[in-house]
Structure 1
């Protein structure tokens, strides 16, 4: 038995000014063949689970590519063509395909990156089983459902069950190959653009939806997945959906319809209402009184893992204006400032124009860099190993990195955008984040499993940027109407 196993992950924010060239797919770009295998073997990705299952089955394994990029703007056409063609070219002669995909990829030449890939694979290998593991934030499309035999999505956000999802999808595929199962996939799409901050799996309506999916599986359903969708994409349906895999089409559809009905009844609970930024910062200041641990300021309006530029200064400016001090900030992406600070050298006092340099004209915003004076405390390569629970053991690189101390704040300034999913974003510069009064993190959710336990609490700060929760900032033109909450009539 010959099995193709590949990984291609990108969550596309079509409003993001951050480009997505081929080099964005990994610390050093994508990896191919044997190196793609080594990059995943022993890790906690869905692809690593596929590898373990295939090896246990004694299969010959083909790993054409492993490519994962942080969320950003549409994938460059040339990069999309190369990565997808690599998978298609390796498929002939394979008895099964196991794909670790995201589900919300938009390329310059494809509004449905995963659907178009799966359609090509199905055309090339009619009858060959295809199993797919998807991110919880997948924007599922008809092409994905029509061209895959098994689809299973993450059940956690922050995502800590990537391996388990791959094991689930792969196990169903190998049962199909052995003739023990004949899985059928059914789908229920909802006209509901959920906010990412309402898709956390540990609270609220999303937790209840996932609990319903788990209960269905406990009762015998082969797989039930809730997809929150990724609404910051101007495509036809950046919306929630439910996919169920079962032994019969009727059972699968009935389960999907039932869970979708529950979600729709609670649709208002999937919408996030932001408070004013000044109020958020004032609340954080009050929360920090008498505390020995830092308070987290989560700048989710400029979140790297939703396509943010990682360089807006609104939250820091507001914090400084309100007199906050003892602020650890990071990471802030400004390659120009990094070069200037490195040229000055460690210990130098420097005045630098920082942040607000990436154009946000696509959403009608214009910002000016903030001139700050401070001391260069340290310079490093910005590399660290993620301790988990997300992407455990993987190397992460922020590019050349500087710790810039302006007195009230110590700012980690980097060459590359980076999600603060590990203490390493600070400790690689020599800064212990536990010693700060506040930690300003450009994050929605991934920081929480790591920074939450060391903090006194957190405050969500919605700054104006390309990952804001304020839908009125975004000029949606391709979304199919009616849709909730853009159209209240959808209620």
Structure 2
């Protein structure tokens, strides 16, 4: 048996000014051929689960590409070709018995607003009967094209995503059982016009917790897999928003009934998917009253893990203004500042404009650096390995990295975007996050994977950035309308 195993992942923020050329995938890690297996065997990724299943089955692995990039703006046409051409060429050669694909589900490219659906459609055009298993992120914007061109599709049930290997194994097993004639997968999918906000999708919290619990409870008897997708609201494309898919063993009616039950539950809870704001100064002042740390301060509007520039200084400036003591920040993206600190040398005192190098025209903001004076504590290559529970075993490349001590605040400054979901963002540069009173994290929910176990309290800080939860700042041009909460008509006639 010959199994095609590949990964193509990007969460596209249509409002982000950060370009997404092919080099962005190379910087994160783009592998071809045997290097794919070497890079991802033993990791907690879906592709790691696929490799485990294939090797256990004694299958020959065809691995044309595995590539991922941190979320950013629309994927360039060249990058999309670099991602999809190797997969399509492998399929066109023939001799493939099945495919296992590790996708995201929210890729918007210059060539297509539905990056994954277009890829799957092209694969099926080349090999109409090819069995295909697909894993998607919980933030996938599921489309008809995606579902119509695969055999079984599943999504993560955790946010932060700590079950990637689990769901990869689950859908991979469905595919292998289908090849053996043990099951006959049929799928029912649908959506509701809810543009849920990412801050309200944590699976330890309602409303997602209840929806995930219901999906898990449905997975028995003829139901092989059930997934509720929160969707990615910052991908300005027609299908952005909440959806669900159910994979059943030959019973389309049961799959459809389960899908509808999940979607109806989500619609009843639609108001819970909207984030409620708090003035930034009040949030930081509230944090100041908490004496025992670490207190986690989330700079969520500038989260590079959702396409943020990671160089907005609004929250950091307020933390400095209110003179919070014993703070560590992860991380500010500013390659120029890193180079300046490297030239000055460890132990030097420098004054420099930090962050604020990127304009954000989609929300009408100019970059605004913050001039700071501090001591260069460390310069490193920024390379380390995630210890879990998210992306376990994957090597992180933050690029050249420096730590700048500004008063009582230690700021990790990086040359490549990286969201802080693992303690290694601090420990790799000599900072013990457990010993800090405050940790400023440019994150939304993924921080929980590494930091929730050590945090005494968590406060969301409504700063500036293109991952804002303020819908009034965003102009959607391609999103289907009406949709909640952007529109509130009295009648929603189609369900």
TM band (smaller chain): over 0.9
Partner Cα separation in structure 2 for residue 422 and residue 160 of structure 1? 12
Q: How does 1:95-106 map to 2 (within 5 A)?
A: 95-106=97-108
1:176 corresponding residue in structure 2: 178
- 2:261 aligned counterpart, secondary structure: helix
Structure 1 residue 442 corresponds to structure 2 residue 442: yes
Deviation at 1:28, TM superposition (A): 5.5
Cα distance in 1, alignment partners of residues 251 and 316 from structure 2 = 54
> Hey, what does 1:266 align to over in structure 2?
269
1:353-372 residue CA offsets vs partner (Å, 9 max, x unmatched): 01111111122112421110
Residue 276 (str. 1) matches residue 279 (str. 2): yes
Distance 1:81 1:140 in 2: 21
Normalising to structure 2: TM-score of the pair?
0.96
Aligned to 2:414: 414
In structure 2, distance between residues paired with 1:458 and 1:40: 33
Please say if 1:37 is aligned against 2:37: yes
Q: Is the 8 A contact 1:119 1:147 kept in 2?
A: yes
> 2:147 is matched with which residue?
145
CA contact (8 A) 2:222 2:251 kept: no
- Measured in 2, the distance between the counterparts of 1:323 and 1:350 equals 20
Structure 1 position 437, deviation (Å): 1.7
1:143 Cα deviation from its structure 2 partner: 0.4
State whether residues 230 and 242 of structure 2, in contact with CA within 8 Å, keep that contact through their aligned partners in structure 1.
Answer: yes
Residues in 1 aligned to 2:197 and 2:138: alpha-carbon distance in whole angstroms = 13
**Structural mapping, 1:363-378, within 5 Å:** 363-378=363-378
> For 1:309-324, what aligned pairs fall within 5 Å after superposition?
309-324=309-324
Contact 1:172 1:181 in 2 (8 A): yes
Q: Find the residue that maps to 1:371 and give its secondary structure.
A: strand
What is aligned with 2:95?
A: 93
Query: Structure 1: how far apart are the matches of 2:338 and 2:449?
Result: 29
Q: Provide the C-alpha distance between the structure 1 equivalents of 2:99 and 2:350, rounded to a whole number of angstroms.
A: 54
Aligned to 2:483: 483
Checking the alignment, whether the CA contact within 8 Å between 1:349 and 1:376 is kept in structure 2 is yes
Structure 1 residues without counterparts, runs of 5 or longer: none
Q: Does 1:160 align with 2:123?
A: no
Equivalent-residue separation in structure 2 for 1:218 and 1:28 (angstroms): 38
Matching residue of 1:69: 69
SS of equivalent to 2:411: strand
Q: Deviations over 1:263-287 (max 9, x none)?
A: 1011111111121111211111112
> Quick check: 2:191–2:241 contact (8 Å CA) kept in 1?
yes
Q: d(CA) in 2 for partners of 1:146 and 1:55?
A: 28
| Aligned partner of residue 264 in structure 1, secondary structure | helix
**Which residue in the other structure is 1:432 paired with?**
432
Deviation of 1:455 (Å): 2.2
Other structure's SS at 1:338 match: helix
Cα distance, 1:27 vs structure 2? 4.3
CA drift at 1:212: 0.8
Q: Contact 1:386 / 1:393 at 8 angstroms: preserved in 2?
A: yes
Equivalent residue for 2:253? 250
Cα contact 2:28–2:70 (8 A) shared by 1: no
Q: Partner residue of 1:382? A: 382
- State whether residues 22 and 29 of structure 1, in contact with CA within 8 Å, keep that contact through their aligned partners in structure 2: no
State the aligned residue count.
Answer: 488
Q: 1:210 to 1:26 in 2, by over 3 A?
A: farther
Deviations 1:338-385 (A, max 9, x none): 111111111111100011111111221124211101111111111111
CA contact (8 A) 1:23 1:30 kept: no
Distance verdict in 2 for CA 1:386–1:295, change over 3 Å: same
CA positional deviation for 1:30: 0.8
Please give the root-mean-square deviation of Cα atoms over the aligned residues, in Å: 1.2
Q: Does 1:328 align with 2:331?
A: no
TM-score, scaled relative to structure 1:
0.97
SS, match of residue 177 in structure 2: helix
CA separation in 2, counterparts of 1:367 and 1:138? Answer: 30
- What's the offset of the Cα at 1:408? 2.5
Question: What secondary structure does 1:426 align onto?
Answer: helix
- 1:298 positional shift: 0.7
Contact 1:23–1:29 at 8 Å: present in 2 too? no
Secondary structure of 1:244's aligned partner: strand
Provide the rounded CA distance (Å) in 1 between the counterparts of 2:472 and 2:425. 32
Q: How far has the Cα of 1:323 moved from its partner? A: 2.3
Aligned to 1:196: 198
Instruction: Report the Cα offset of residue 70 of structure 1.
Output: 1.0
> Is 1:53 aligned with 2:58?
no
Check the 8 A contact 1:22/1:30 in 2, yes or no: no
Q: Distance in 1 between matches of 2:55 and 2:330?
A: 41
2:311 match: secondary structure: coil
Residue 194 of structure 1 contacts residue 231 of structure 1 at CA under 8 Å; is this kept in 2? yes
**4+ aligned runs moved over 3 Å, structure 1:** 26-29
Distance 2:428 2:434 in 1: 14
**Alignment gaps of 5+ in structure 2:** none
1:473 corresponds to? 473
